[in-house]
Structure 1
């Protein structure tokens, strides 16, 4: 054997051989699928790969690799010659041989000591049996109509019956075929038109025995090798980059050099007025260079997806299932680092779909499904991220079974289980030690896996979500950043030190004024929570978690016991299925940062995922939000428990009779406060007054490649004019299927308050009423009325009332259940304007009575959720349980459009969920339901 020390020729052989083997697995599976319809081009490709490996190994003195690749080449030659049919049994032997070749090539220095006897024996048995059958064909017996036909085993390989002789294909010029190959090339034999096959049972038995002997030594799939060590040294050291991308990099590097020279020349002169121009040019080139360099790291996700046909094939056969795998989006590109990191998590999820998701064929037939299961592996881009979905049409996840298993294993208490939503029950599978398998097998049952999958994805800045329908299947959705090298982050400060929070985990920023801290931050036991748009959000004080000294801790812990001298800044973040608020000192700008790994002495600090160097040269640590939640002993179950306790507290308070509203507070003039429902706001943009253009008697601004029409409250309502500030805000809404911006000035705040709305005293066009908020009279803006007064033409086609049909003898009647006079009046005006008859009730109890009295008239129920005596959930449950009302459509209106409320609403039978005061969506839903009824 040649010297292995720094041998470039040997390294070239290894890289070339691994490249050949990278696609051989999928090619063999495609050959197996084709069966007797042999794709000669594909077989030739695999044959040449084996031949090249054999030739290189012989030159290097790698005798074991040479021998095994030679035996593999022989079988592929017989398939190419159509001497044998590539049955699953034969393909199994070839796949195992390919696995062994890859193992030896990856450890090429010790390859000659590898034991390949079983693999070579299996391959030679196939070749020998094929030659024996060709050399000694049995004569065709006399016609015997009564003789039974020979049964051919499913895994047997059968000789092709041809009237013409089998021709040996010509030898390609660049290939040197050794004498050993020529000696083993099948002789030209004339075969009869029909061959009596006493079935090649002996050969199959030999091959099966050898395969069984091989199985414990050589893994059946590459996936098991990935668990032990990284495969392909090639993938770790080399990348393929298109020449055009290299050309682009060279061009940008040249531009950067020119700009550097220009900068040096500029700063060497007394006149520095051109520095800004040069700086802008360097900034632009740097951004383009950054993007181009990032492209060099991008690799198609098909590099990972390519292994799964083999995984599904082998595992489904092992489990006695028949499964088709469909792969979509192989060309979607991800950073090379992420592709390598998601290999194991994806493998586990695909194996779970095969093992737990897809039922056995007999069970599927009983359920009215095709006996062939379907798994879809899909990758696509969405909102600047890569989404991967693993879907199956199997049995789905049973929430109650999951909960019972978690309780039985002591992972949660029975009390916690009763309070959990459906989504939380499904997310139990991410808990360490969770398993529903009846017994431990090689495939599953050890209670490890899904928690590791979630942890790995969290570390990549991704998240995983499970959607499942019992009896119909499960979809696991993963969202990943495109790259880990440069990421956008929110910069925050704590004790004069800066920290970075990845924007992929950022939900929103919340500021609670000093006067509201005691009112809005509540304690449940030792935990702090804030109510945010109907959800209870657990809070974590970053200073307490990372330890900034006892004095800081004492001050932060005592914050709720004093009035407080400053506001609270809260960063609302999500990681996996968890969502919480991180209390910090202050919020700074969002920046793109370059991630640097932590030094060895800091790697034990679990609160940090890395570090970055800021523009001033100082270090900022990147927070690991998943580990911070663990360090604070926070999990979603605690959140559920807190929610139940706090809800009980809230029910005892008299203010529950008021409507709780999530509002955006802003100003039009300095001392005049306005509010709009927060759920109507799309975005808030900061602009300069100079950005506003007057075109065609309308204000507008350039926005996202188009023009954004701008309006002011004082365009319609009699209020003070917009303050004469240079810095303005644009609150963006979506009204009448068009995006519109409302000009305003700060300060702005998102708050959630219990309010009594006065809909008489200050009501006027564009203003639906007023309320006292934080001691200030606040006008509630009706954005729909404002827009309708300014742009009536937008509504010309949308204001058409209910479309009547021949079956509609009179306008339908809608029952409204709403305890607030203000909202009830709003709903009544919407419905009457659209031509409906209305019956009103103030709570669920009265609504049930009205339904009893007018059932034959009522076509639809529109109900509030929060009502005294009987809320909307209980009302809907009573309706669905009543034999007369069970089919009545129900629309729920609420300010609490949280995921938990939606889950509960779906469970009790609510048809649609809509947010209060969103007239357009509500009326579209009402019209749609009425049209379906009539």
Structure 2
């Protein structure tokens, strides 16, 4: 089947099966000529072959099927009676169709197959009168029979010549071979070709084995049988794991070799069985063009559906599970995302919207994206609706990142639709989408740019039955973490952990290659105590819902393939486990639900951080110069200079795209959470050399930003790099300063400038403190070190 499209291959497989059934049905119909049910079945089969061949531009195949369909239609309607002659004509049609299919399979086209004889024979047999009933009196049929017999004789003679040539070439010694092989006369008796095959040279490099026909290359298997086979393979994998662990402790070389061989065979068997359950995602995508068309007309929109990666394969069980969520996302994009033609023209877009489906394999997962070029999602509108419905408080909303705000659309009861229709507006659907995707171990992410469009991204495991996992230990118990969520492992000795693990607003963080990584202590989640007391810290870096966090565990045990078993309702209700498995040593380990764990832990940390930030702000309001311990954020600003900023003045650390920076007059601004934030670049403010570049030629795509917020106003302070968080205790201070500074100090053996945060904020927004009723001195004290 090299070079043939998948559609043609599927057509050939199905047609060969139908032809075999036609042979049986036609012979049976001859015994029961009045069976309308069998006649209708034969007619439908020929009609299907005719329709598909016309679609694939196989003209000869369509021609012969069409004339056969005409006869079957008249037989079904009672206009003709089935006779032996007409049965012969239909069987001839079946043979011709089979010959055409063989040519398509071999050469990719219909070749020189002659269909005129079959067409004339069927046409003649449909004529009324004795000629139709008496084949011997039909000159066309007689001529066809003679021609068929002549062709059979010619084919047999040609085959005999080839066989004779092969036998002569094999039997003759190479040294005594004559210069030319004398052909055997056609009438001479020739030995059967079977002995020729027996004396073929060994190796067969020059004469490859005949290729298996397409009809013989596939087989239909009941899905229940595949499921049972998959369960048996799962049990085999469990047993394999136990045997491999036992063998690894033995000194018998033969036993170790046998264990390794068993491991290899079990792995190959597992991979093969899993492949039998894989199906292309096009199986569920094929129904979506109709959904998009009908919904577009219903909503008064013009939408074109594009598909990329149709051939991406997914486990059949997961394919069924993702069908409804994907359909809902497509409907949501057409209804909410893509604008009506007039609105699109007014926005400078084409009147026709484009909805794109993409699928690909990535890091052991299937990534499915639903992308539209519509109006996008406005985070401010989402936040306002969420606060109005009581899904989140205004204070909590002010501290949420844009990605977190977009995730609110998956909250139960959330909707921004102005009216309830039969398409949307009830506040149900998106929460069900997320629940169903997470139920199969997947995640869902949303990226949106107002006015440009929205991308909803699904990350789905290839299979749920057998998955690679990392086994860890916490408080004496073992747990499994699916490796699709694991990015890396970090091990810190006691000395490094004492300085590398920091706290920001009450939350523990670790700076991993310049990025602050929030830490979650697994013992805190379970309410247990760690059995590790040596100060050593092991961090499993996990990714969930588009963000990274570190899970602190006692120790890492091993990586192995595990068989996922369902857990009871009591354990599932806890919300921290996605299943259970039996490890190689026979012990049971619970599989951690990374998504639920991240949401619960990070939510608790957000509440704790808010409470501690409130307490810190209250304490800072009465603080004066020379107070006790102060946490400082160190940042580089270019030219080898760095500044220290009081941590309690920092609301958020963000990264913004340089391309999103806009101007209001001579001042730079950026859109942030539905508001316009003024920007102050510290390198310009303090006269340092910049590595970012400005204007039309920025040298970096992203800006490191420190967001300061007070009441309903915010500013964005741009630095070159966030360096560290340190304690301002017993450090060497100096009153040497300059414009925009409060002095200097030594942090880590390097002189660091103490930023006058108030002056920097006023440089960005001169009216920031215009309505502040507090005394200016109090603000000065807050910024001082």
1:847 counterpart (673, 679, 684): 684
- Contact 1:427-1:577 at 8 Å conserved across structures: no
Q: Bigger relative contact order, structure 1 or 2, given CA contacts below 8 A and separation 6+?
A: 2
1:819 counterpart (642, 658, 667): 642
Q: Match of 2:69?
A: 172
Q: Match of 2:394?
A: 414
Q: Match of 1:433?
A: 413
Determine the C-alpha separation between the residues in 1 that align with 2:550 and 2:695: 48
Q: Match of 2:334?
A: 354
Post-superposition Cα deviations, 1:199-257, rounded to whole Å, max 9, x if no partner, equal: xxxxxxxxxxxxxxxxxxxxxxxxxxxxxxxxxxx9964779xxxxxxxx9xxx9xx99
Displacement of 1:437 after TM fit? 0.6
Decide whether aligned partners of structure 1 residues 306 and 648 sit closer, same or farther in structure 2, where only a CA change above 3 A counts.
farther
Decide whether aligned partners of structure 1 residues 507 and 426 sit closer, same or farther in structure 2, where only a CA change above 3 A counts.
same
Determine the C-alpha separation between the residues in 1 that align with 2:698 and 2:599: 47
- Contact 2:410-2:430 at 8 Å conserved across structures: yes
Q: Match of 2:545?
A: 576
Post-superposition Cα deviations, 1:59-107, rounded to whole Å, max 9, x if no partner, equal: 9xxxxxx9xx99x99xx99x99xxxxxxxxxxxxxxxxxxxxxxxxxxx
- Contact 2:369-2:456 at 8 Å conserved across structures: yes
Post-superposition Cα deviations, 1:264-293, rounded to whole Å, max 9, x if no partner, equal: 9xxxxx994322333322222222222112
Match status 1:532 vs 2:511: yes
Q: Match of 1:323?
A: 303
Q: Match of 1:489?
A: 469
Q: Match of 1:455?
A: 435
Match status 1:313 vs 2:293: yes
Decide whether aligned partners of structure 1 residues 584 and 859 sit closer, same or farther in structure 2, where only a CA change above 3 A counts.
closer
Match status 1:589 vs 2:558: yes
Decide whether aligned partners of structure 1 residues 659 and 613 sit closer, same or farther in structure 2, where only a CA change above 3 A counts.
same
Displacement of 1:523 after TM fit? 7.2
Displacement of 1:349 after TM fit? 0.8
Decide whether aligned partners of structure 1 residues 856 and 506 sit closer, same or farther in structure 2, where only a CA change above 3 A counts.
closer
2:597 counterpart (609, 622, 628): 628
- Contact 2:708-2:715 at 8 Å conserved across structures: no
Decide whether aligned partners of structure 1 residues 369 and 861 sit closer, same or farther in structure 2, where only a CA change above 3 A counts.
closer
Decide whether aligned partners of structure 1 residues 869 and 592 sit closer, same or farther in structure 2, where only a CA change above 3 A counts.
closer
1:396 counterpart (376, 381, 385): 376
Q: Match of 2:58?
A: none
Q: Match of 1:372?
A: 352
Q: Match of 2:585?
A: 616
Decide whether aligned partners of structure 1 residues 660 and 892 sit closer, same or farther in structure 2, where only a CA change above 3 A counts.
closer
Match status 1:303 vs 2:260: no
Determine the C-alpha separation between the residues in 2 that align with 1:238 and 1:648: 65
Decide whether aligned partners of structure 1 residues 643 and 538 sit closer, same or farther in structure 2, where only a CA change above 3 A counts.
farther
- The structure number with the bigger radius of gyration is 2
- Contact 1:464-1:479 at 8 Å conserved across structures: yes
- Contact 1:329-1:379 at 8 Å conserved across structures: yes
Decide whether aligned partners of structure 1 residues 546 and 860 sit closer, same or farther in structure 2, where only a CA change above 3 A counts.
closer
Displacement of 1:606 after TM fit? 3.2
Secondary structure at the aligned position of 2:484 is classed as helix
Decide whether aligned partners of structure 1 residues 592 and 466 sit closer, same or farther in structure 2, where only a CA change above 3 A counts.
same
Post-superposition Cα deviations, 1:15-46, rounded to whole Å, max 9, x if no partner, equal: xxxxxxxx9xxxxxxxxxxxxxxxxx9xx99x
Determine the C-alpha separation between the residues in 2 that align with 1:501 and 1:619: 14
Matches within 5 A, 1:633-782: 634=603, 638=607, 641=610, 659=634
Deviates more, 1:588-597 or 1:416-425: 416-425
1:287 counterpart (258, 267, 282): 267
Gaps of 5+ in 1: 1-22, 24-40, 60-65, 81-167, 184-233, 241-248, 265-269, 662-813, 822-842, 879-889, 898-934
Determine the C-alpha separation between the residues in 2 that align with 1:498 and 1:281: 28
Determine the C-alpha separation between the residues in 2 that align with 1:571 and 1:355: 41
What count of residue pairs does the alignment treat as equivalent?
A: 489
Secondary structure at the aligned position of 2:455 is classed as strand
Matches within 5 A, 1:486-565: 486-511=466-491, 528-533=507-512, 539-546=519-526, 552=528
- Contact 1:612-1:622 at 8 Å conserved across structures: yes
Decide whether aligned partners of structure 1 residues 846 and 505 sit closer, same or farther in structure 2, where only a CA change above 3 A counts.
closer
Determine the C-alpha separation between the residues in 2 that align with 1:485 and 1:388: 20
Determine the C-alpha separation between the residues in 2 that align with 1:172 and 1:342: 40
Secondary structure at the aligned position of 2:263 is classed as helix
Determine the C-alpha separation between the residues in 2 that align with 1:875 and 1:414: 15
- Contact 1:537-1:639 at 8 Å conserved across structures: no
Decide whether aligned partners of structure 1 residues 403 and 535 sit closer, same or farther in structure 2, where only a CA change above 3 A counts.
farther
Determine the C-alpha separation between the residues in 1 that align with 2:614 and 2:69: 79
Q: What is the TM-score when the length of structure 2 is the normalising length? A: 0.51
Determine the C-alpha separation between the residues in 1 that align with 2:534 and 2:374: 57
Decide whether aligned partners of structure 1 residues 647 and 589 sit closer, same or farther in structure 2, where only a CA change above 3 A counts.
farther
RMSD between superposed Cα atoms in Å: 5.7
Q: Match of 1:607?
A: 576
Decide whether aligned partners of structure 1 residues 235 and 311 sit closer, same or farther in structure 2, where only a CA change above 3 A counts.
farther
Secondary structure at the aligned position of 2:262 is classed as helix
- Contact 2:641-2:688 at 8 Å conserved across structures: no
Determine the C-alpha separation between the residues in 2 that align with 1:280 and 1:475: 45
Match status 1:477 vs 2:457: yes
- Contact 1:506-1:574 at 8 Å conserved across structures: yes
Determine the C-alpha separation between the residues in 2 that align with 1:377 and 1:581: 32
Deviates more, 1:171-180 or 1:606-615: 171-180
Decide whether aligned partners of structure 1 residues 387 and 402 sit closer, same or farther in structure 2, where only a CA change above 3 A counts.
same
Determine the C-alpha separation between the residues in 2 that align with 1:616 and 1:437: 54
- Contact 1:461-1:504 at 8 Å conserved across structures: no
- Contact 2:510-2:519 at 8 Å conserved across structures: no
Determine the C-alpha separation between the residues in 1 that align with 2:384 and 2:344: 25
Displacement of 1:622 after TM fit? 0.8
- Contact 1:540-1:581 at 8 Å conserved across structures: yes
Displacement of 1:846 after TM fit? 7.1
Determine the C-alpha separation between the residues in 1 that align with 2:281 and 2:696: 54
Displacement of 1:297 after TM fit? 1.5
Decide whether aligned partners of structure 1 residues 374 and 896 sit closer, same or farther in structure 2, where only a CA change above 3 A counts.
farther
Post-superposition Cα deviations, 1:345-389, rounded to whole Å, max 9, x if no partner, equal: 111111111111111122112222222111111111223322111
Q: Match of 2:109?
A: none
Displacement of 1:335 after TM fit? 1.3
- Contact 1:458-1:575 at 8 Å conserved across structures: no
Post-superposition Cα deviations, 1:809-851, rounded to whole Å, max 9, x if no partner, equal: xxxxx97483279xxxxxxxxxxxxxxxxxxxxx966733649
Determine the C-alpha separation between the residues in 1 that align with 2:705 and 2:616: 12
Displacement of 1:178 after TM fit? 6.2
Displacement of 1:469 after TM fit? 1.8
